[in-house]
Amino acid sequence: MAEKPNKTEQGKQERLAEKAARAKATQGRRDSAAAAQSRSEQRQGRNVDAGAAGRMASFAQREANAGLTLAGNDTTAGRDDFYSYRARASASPEGQTDYGVYDIDPPVSFPDPTQRELEKPPPLYAFKVVNDGDGTVSVTTGTVNTETATSLTPSGKPDELWLEVTFNTDGEVTAASVETSGGTTSETQDYRQIATITWDGDAPTIVQGIKGSQSIASCGATHQWGTLYS
């Protein structure tokens, strides 16, 4: 009959058995994880190959649509012009950009901003008197309430121009016209000076009186003027 181990020896054997069991369990988990990783990498490899091929085809098509793919499948051949354009667009008159100095050939013209402002045509306000350059003046189109003024090109060399407005008995504007002199205010008529003009030969000096279409409210012979827009 085998001799029964004492408590010390029995405890040692139990600890060794537990240690072996833990090592076996750990190795099993490692083997399972390695197998799962291998399967994942195999699947990922197939997906990456297919996805990469699709992305490359899509990228090539986008470059072709952008004109960057030329003969010989050189996808960089068209980029020189693009980067050259960017350098031109971002360069200052001295060719200086945030990225350095570019040698621009041919040189890019950069108009002076102040010169551009000076070259802009002046705004044409309603009822603005303008020099026609031939010894005459004219008035830009404007309205009074809803009526468009007439007689915008007075004859001769007037010293002053007036806006004449006609009303009906309800105080509504029925007509507006440009005249060379003012008149008497009444329940059916009123005037507002547009400009005064002095002449030096065929050259007029114009002092504007109003700019912008006009509004007018009437109560009998009392009329209140205002500006609709300018």
Tokens standing for 68?
């960057």
Q: Which residues pair with 225 in a beta bridge?
A: 216
Nearest one of 167, 165, 169, 168 to 143, comparing CA atoms = 165
Tokens standing for 199?
């002449």
Give the C-alpha separation, 117 to 192, whole Å: 33
Tokens standing for 193?
């000076």
Cβ pair 194, 181 in contact under 8 A: no
Give the C-alpha separation, 156 to 130, whole Å: 14
Q: Is 147 helix (H, G, I), strand (E, B) or coil?
A: strand
Cα angle 57, 61, 62; round to 5: 120
Give the C-alpha separation, 10 to 22, whole Å: 19
Per-residue pLDDT in tens (0 to 9) along the chain, 230 residues: 556 667 677 777 888 888 888 888 888 888 888 888 877 777 765 555 555 666 666 766 776 666 655 555 555 555 555 555 555 555 555 545 444 444 555 555 556 666 666 666 666 789 999 999 999 999 999 999 999 999 999 999 999 999 999 999 999 999 999 999 999 999 999 999 999 999 999 999 999 999 899 999 998 889 999 987 65
Cβ pair 214, 202 in contact under 8 A: no
Nearest one of 145, 140, 182, 146 to 163, comparing CA atoms = 182
Instruction: Quote the pTM value.
Output: 0.48
Give the C-alpha separation, 73 to 56, whole Å: 13
* Strands of the chain, DSSP E: 96-97, 100-101, 129-131, 137-139, 143-144, 147-148, 160-167, 173-179, 189-200, 203-208, 213-219, 222-229
Tokens standing for 58?
């899509």
